[in-house]
């Protein structure tokens, strides 16, 4: 039963029962309609209270219903809201936990609202490239005022109910037990006999025209690649200037337009892909998880310190190990500095800083890791170093402790073999800066136990990470693909492009940073070391020599003040380098390649399709379980434009037939062997299918 109906002292209580967040799916909508009618038909019922329990009033639409026929079956949410709005008995929303999206729109359709001050209130639809489609753009401005409503709707960010206490949205905001307060309020409302409707309220603003003009300009500047925010402004403007029913029609038309835009489809793909990433085919809800109460981290450098902060932020104690006191002190000082900088920005209180720092136990002894439930090493990327660490861990870690490597490229199965407990070993590839970046690649070894994987995937949510499972291969999902992207960037230099043109083209496409600016930020010497290893392991894999020539000049990037670009002291701006440009042109002559004009379109296609082709190999090999996992990796960790949905989704939108045709065209050019298409790509293209079918 999706809605529980009960009567308590003359008040009908309708409790939503659709975990985890009381999504408003078809059965819940039908349950609401039936229960509302039951309350209206019962002469003993004086008022009706709707609640979702302590965890959530409602998180809005039921995402499990998306892309099914149920999403548009009657009663749709608008029908339910209209029924509550027409009720002849007072209706009261008792809001705890959250009222988001359709959940807030449902509450706005009732006569009264009582909320716990901590409940999150919002209309996040814009984050999916759409706008509220059940009257939210019309009712919220009437309830909280024009400016507050516009900011909430255009940003999609939730607000604590307590911060809206001075608006007309809530009739009562309480510290606890909103349901109890709502029941008392319902008796008062029944005695008063009034049935206020938000739709009848007027929007008051001293200069609505001027504010809307300013808002439109600001929103346009901030949302160039997203049509939804401006459509939100259009709908809110209709709420101000037109009768309610006309405004509802403007909202409906805007929703119908936006739901079919490429941007909304891409954003929804990313949204569902992130949730699907946590679902692993052979690990069901029946797989138990191990208890994780204490963490060990080995290495207090940039990565180790950032990894440590993730667990401190979640309230988990960390024993941080280093080999030398100086390095340990430096690592602890950096963590404190990071927290104190957050405190200066008002993101943390001084008390919170000290509480988190108090969770760290610094040590120089492996013996202090004996009680850790999870130990993550963040040491140098060499097998000999990893072997030394895991051999010691195997000797001292308690039975059942999970041993994880933060390797970004190395073979996790080989690392697991350094222990007598390979079932307890897996990879946890954090992305730098580890305390900021959302992505976590969880690398599943051949012998990794199911409960170990399930535990780490669950823990990733606790520390605020977007976790994606990868199989074992060189570079896993993200770095394996980015290598092909980088190879094409180098070949483009050989053929006629310059670093700034390549970066400019891909950044215009929507990447946060082009390959050469990214190299300068990460350190060009890192790629140099990988290419040296490749020369031994994969001698047939060709690269442009320009990156090696750059490193031979000592131009490692921002850390040396010079890389593909020039940098000034204290200034991270990338200035085109005449020395580098001359080096690139000379190298083309040295290898006998006649330089040519290269279009931005070619640059984008070659960089993105290189990702796509390698992604197809990864899918075919089973390194990634599904195409959306690859997209999530690139959206969360590599700056791929969110509004394009990730490389595999983007390829689907272009059409795999067209992608393959372009690749075959590029295969006729310089270093054409790099364009050997993945068999899966050919198979899908010839069958007229897509990666996400």
Q: Which residues does the annotation mark as catalytic?
A: 105, 125
CB under 8 Å to 400, separation ≥6 — which residues?
290, 373, 424
- Quote the CA–CA distance of 64 and 27 in Å, as a whole number: 12
- Quote the CA–CA distance of 476 and 406 in Å, as a whole number: 12
- Quote the CA–CA distance of 524 and 503 in Å, as a whole number: 15
- Tally Cβ neighbours within 10 Å of residue 683: 14
Please report which residue ranges of 463-596 form alpha helices under DSSP H.
Answer: 478-495, 499-509, 515-522, 524-537, 546-552, 578-590
> Cα separations (Å) of 596 from 486, 500, 543, 600?
20, 16, 19, 13
- Quote the CA–CA distance of 516 and 520 in Å, as a whole number: 6
Residue 174: strand pairing partners: 116
* Phi, psi angle pair for 384, to nearest 5°: -65, -40
Long-range contacts, 256-262 (Cβ 8 Å, 24+) = 257/231, 258/129, 258/130, 258/131, 258/227, 258/228, 258/231, 259/130, 261/129, 261/227, 261/228, 262/653
User: How many CA atoms lie less than 13 Å away from 465 in the CB half-sphere?
Assistant: 31
Helices and strands counted in the chain (H then E)? 27, 19
Burial class (CB in 10 A: 0-12, 13-18, 19+), 264: buried
Measured in whole angstroms, the distance separating CA 340 from the mean position of its chain's CA atoms is 26
- Quote the CA–CA distance of 270 and 645 in Å, as a whole number: 6
Strand 172-174, strand 120-122: pairing? unpaired
Please report which residue ranges of 622-675 form alpha helices under DSSP H.
Answer: 627-637, 647-654, 656-666
**Residue 122: closest CA among 93, 164, 69:** 164
- Quote the CA–CA distance of 7 and 73 in Å, as a whole number: 29
> Cα separations (Å) of 503 from 499, 549, 602?
6, 19, 13
- Quote the CA–CA distance of 691 and 685 in Å, as a whole number: 9
**Residue 323: closest CA among 285, 269, 377, 402:** 377
User: Is the preceding peptide bond at 20 cis, omega within 30 degrees of 0?
Assistant: yes
- Quote the CA–CA distance of 405 and 108 in Å, as a whole number: 50
The conformation of residue 73, written as its DSSP 8-state character, comes to S
User: Is the preceding peptide bond at 167 cis, omega within 30 degrees of 0?
Assistant: no
Residue 70: strand pairing partners: none
- Quote the CA–CA distance of 496 and 587 in Å, as a whole number: 11
Tokens of 421: 């407990």
Indicate the helix (H) or strand (E) that contains 270: helix 262-277
- Quote the CA–CA distance of 485 and 489 in Å, as a whole number: 6
- Quote the CA–CA distance of 128 and 226 in Å, as a whole number: 10
- Quote the CA–CA distance of 56 and 100 in Å, as a whole number: 9
DSSP secondary structure letters along 534-547: HHHH-TT----SHH
Rg of the chain over all Cα atoms, to the nearest angstrom: 28
- Quote the CA–CA distance of 42 and 217 in Å, as a whole number: 52
């Amino acid at each position: 039963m999706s809605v529980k109906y009960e009567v308590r002292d003359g008040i009908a209580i309708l409790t939503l029962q659709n975990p985890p967040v009381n999504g408003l799916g078809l059965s819940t909508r039908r349950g609401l309609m039936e229960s509302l009618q039951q309350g209206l038909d019962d002469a003993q019922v004086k008022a009706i209270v709707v609640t979702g329990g302590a965890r959530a009033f409602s998180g809005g639409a039921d995402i499990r219903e998306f892309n099914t026929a149920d999403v548009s079956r009657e009663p749709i949410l608008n029908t339910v809201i209209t029924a509550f709005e027409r009720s002849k008995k007072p209706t009261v929303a008792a809001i705890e936990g959250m009222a988001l999206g359709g959940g807030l729109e449902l509450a706005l359709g009732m006569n009264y609202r009582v909320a716990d001050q901590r409940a999150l209130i919002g209309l996040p639809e814009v984050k999916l490239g759409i706008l509220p489609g059940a009257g939210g753009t019309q009712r919220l401005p009437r309830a909280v005022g024009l400016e507050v409503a516009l900011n909430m709707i255009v940003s999609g960010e939730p607000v604590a109910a307590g911060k809206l206490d001075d608006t007309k949205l809530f009739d009562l905001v309480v510290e606890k037990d909103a349901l109890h307060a709502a029941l008392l309020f319902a008796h008062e409302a029944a005695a008063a006999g009034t049935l206020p409707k938000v739709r009848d309220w007027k929007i008051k603003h001293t200069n609505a025209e001027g504010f809307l003009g300013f808002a439109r300009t600001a929103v346009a500047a901030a949302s160039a690649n997203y049509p939804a925010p401006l459509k939100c402004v259009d709908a809110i403007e209709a709420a101000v200037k037109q009768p309610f029913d006309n405004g509802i029609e403007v909202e409906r038309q805007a929703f119908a337009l936006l739901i079919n835009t490429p941007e909304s489809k891409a954003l929804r793909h990313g949204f569902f892909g992130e949730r699907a990433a946590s679902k692993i085919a052979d690990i069901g809800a029946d797989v138990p998880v191990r208890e994780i109460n204490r963490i060990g981290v080995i290495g207090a450098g940039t990565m180790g310190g950032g990894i440590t902060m993730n667990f401190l932020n979640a309230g988990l104690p960390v024993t941080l190990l280093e080999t030398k006191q100086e390095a340990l002190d430096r690592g602890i000082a950096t963590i404190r500095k990071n927290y104190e900088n957050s405190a200066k920005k008002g993101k943390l209180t001084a008390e919170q800083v000290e509480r988190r720092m108090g969770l760290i136990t610094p040590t120089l002894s492996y013996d202090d890791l004996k009680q850790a439930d999870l130990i993550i090493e963040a040491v140098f990327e060499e097998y000999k170093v990893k072997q030394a660490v895991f051999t010691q861990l195997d000797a001292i870690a308690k039975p059942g402790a999970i041993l994880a490597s933060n390797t970004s490229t190395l073979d996790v199965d080989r690392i697991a073999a350094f222990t007598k407990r390979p079932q307890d070993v897996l990879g946890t590839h954090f992305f730098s800066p580890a305390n900021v970046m959302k992505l976590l690649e969880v690398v599943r070894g051949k012998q990794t136990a199911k409960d170990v994987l399930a535990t780490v995937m669950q823990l990733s949510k606790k520390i605020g990470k977007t976790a994606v499972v990868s199989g074992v291969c060189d570079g896993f999902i993200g770095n394996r693909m980015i290598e092909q992207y980088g190879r094409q960037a180098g070949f483009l230099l050989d053929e006629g492009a310059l670093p700034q043109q390549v970066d400019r083209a891909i950044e215009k496409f929507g990447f946060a940073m082009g390959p050469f600016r990214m190299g300068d930020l990460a350190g060009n010497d890192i790629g140099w070391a990988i290419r040296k290893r490749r020369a031994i392991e994969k001698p047939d894999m060709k690269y442009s020599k320009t990156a090696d020539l750059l490193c031979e000049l000592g131009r490692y990037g921002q850390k040396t003040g010079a890389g593909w670009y020039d940098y000034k002291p204290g200034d991270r701006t990338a200035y085109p380098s005449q020395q580098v440009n001359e080096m690139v042109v000379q190298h083309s002559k040295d290898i006998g390649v006649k330089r040519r004009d290269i279009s931005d379109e070619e640059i984008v296609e070659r960089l993105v399709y290189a990702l796509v082709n390698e992604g197809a190999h990864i899918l075919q090999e089973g390194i990634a379980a599904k195409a959306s996992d690859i997209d999530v990796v690139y959206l969360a960790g590599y700056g791929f434009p969110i509004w394009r949905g990730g490389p595999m989704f983007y390829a689907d939108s272009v059409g795999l037939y067209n992608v393959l045709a372009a690749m075959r065209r590029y295969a006729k050019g310089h270093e054409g062997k790099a364009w050997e298409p993945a068999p899966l790509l050919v198979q899908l293209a010839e069958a007229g299918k897509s990666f996400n079918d």
